[in-house]
């Protein structure tokens, strides 16, 4: 690092780059081998250094407020644009920080002054987008259902591909159906997964804008189902794809993709020994019975209070006796 003073300003130059370019920082103690903005010990710059001398993380941050943006540069909020519809924001008063001097504090901790910051929520959206849940515009209503965590990861804005997909989906889906799709996919998978993953030899990578697009992408089923279930009936599996569309989004980028059930002939000897078929348990006694039952019954004979046969066993009320006594009676008549 080479620092020179020009009047009252300190010019810092990188001595590792050809031509020793001037760096955009007045700090003389910076290390030119690291990111010029964050100086993180884990963010060493590649050689040769990039022209801006920034790491990949700081390159996506807004230089004014340091918030994450989609492609770098000044964020939409600093440009006075709505992060949802990208229209100009209305004029709003500046946030004032209220400072309580040490002598005026009521908690008797009078060594430091206390600062109160106003709530800045909603200042990055216009009035129409803030009231999007009751808006007559269906696109605004669906955009309001997108999770804030995913929106912030995309730099505070909605990717254009997501908006185009929603416009196409609104021609065949209602606002409620699209909102249910976003909520179901978010809480069933992406709410507990990282929104960014680097590409490796074993699995592909994805970015937050890819996750946002997967939240609104229609299910690739010719029957028009929603993630393997009939539209507006989440308890009924689609008869066309038989629920195989449940894993199509996980295969694209999720980490919890479950393989489709394989036939019994494809199991290895160890898998065949460890395999246990699904068993329906009795729902009686407040769900604590747990006795295996055969369909279509949901409760065991004891919880269903079936009558007792002459031999003491319980039998189906549709028959006069249990199977054992009925078979002995039929043999005696023969």
pLDDT score of 259:
43
- Rounded to whole angstroms, the maximal C-alpha distance in the chain is 120
pLDDT tens digits, 55-93? 877 777 787 777 777 667 788 778 888 877 778 888 877
Joined tokens for residue 324:
């054992």
Q: Which residue has the tokens 């504090």?
A: 105
Is the pLDDT at 248 greater than 50? The verdict is no
Among 222, 227, 224, CA closest to 245: 227
Joined tokens for residue 287:
């769900």
Q: Please give the average per-residue pLDDT across 201-215, as a whole number.
A: 87
Chain centroid offset of residue 25 CA:
37
Q: 166, 217 in Cβ contact below 8 A?
A: no
Q: Please give the average per-residue pLDDT across 135-159, as a whole number.
A: 82
- Its pTM stands at 0.45
- Could you give the angle at which helices 208-216 and 160-169 cross, rounded to 10 degrees? 0
Give Rg (Cα) of the chain: 32
Contacts with 31 (C-beta within 8 Å, 6 or more apart), sequence order: 1, 39
Is the pLDDT at 249 greater than 70? The verdict is no
Q: Please give the average per-residue pLDDT across 22-44, as a whole number.
A: 77
SS percent in the chain: helix, strand, coil, step 5: 30, 10, 60
Lowest mean pLDDT among 70-84, 108-122, 166-180, 220-234: 108-122
Joined tokens for residue 201:
């030899």
């Amino acid at each position: 690092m080479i620092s020179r003073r020009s009047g009252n300003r300190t010019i810092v130059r990188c001595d590792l780059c050809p031509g020793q370019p001037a760096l955009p920082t007045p700090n003389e103690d910076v290390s030119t081998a690291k990111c010029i903005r964050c100086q993180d010990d884990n963010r060493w710059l590649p050689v040769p250094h990039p022209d801006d001398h920034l790491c990949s993380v700081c390159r996506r941050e807004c230089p004014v407020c340091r918030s994450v943006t989609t492609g770098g540069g000044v964020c939409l909020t600093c440009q006075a644009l709505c992060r949802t519809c990208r229209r100009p924001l209305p004029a709003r008063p500046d946030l004032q920080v209220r400072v309580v001097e040490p002598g005026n504090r009521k908690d008797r901790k009078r060594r430091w002054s206390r600062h109160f910051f106003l709530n800045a929520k909603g200042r990055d959206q216009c009035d129409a987008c803030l009231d999007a849940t009751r808006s007559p515009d269906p696109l605004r209503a669906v955009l309001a259902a997108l999770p804030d965590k995913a929106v912030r990861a995309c730099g505070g804005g909605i990717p254009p591909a997501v908006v185009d997909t929603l416009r196409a989906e609104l021609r065949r889906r209602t606002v409620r159906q699209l909102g249910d799709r976003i909520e179901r996919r978010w809480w069933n998978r992406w709410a507990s997964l990282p929104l960014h993953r680097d590409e490796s030899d074993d699995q592909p990578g994805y970015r937050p804008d890819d996750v946002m697009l997967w939240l609104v992408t229609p299910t690739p089923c010719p029957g028009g189902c929603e993630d393997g279930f009939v539209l507006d009936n989440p308890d009924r599996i689609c008869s066309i794809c038989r629920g195989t569309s449940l894993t199509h989004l996980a295969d694209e980028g999720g980490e919890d993709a479950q393989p489709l059930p394989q036939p019994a002939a494809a199991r290895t000897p160890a898998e065949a020994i460890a395999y246990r078929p699904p068993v329906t348990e009795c729902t009686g006694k407040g769900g604590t019975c747990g006795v295996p039952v055969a369909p279509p019954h949901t409760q065991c004979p004891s919880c269903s209070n079936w009558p007792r046969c002459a031999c003491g066993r319980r039998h189906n009320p549709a028959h006069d006796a249990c199977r054992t006594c009925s078979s002995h009676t039929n043999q005696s008549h023969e």
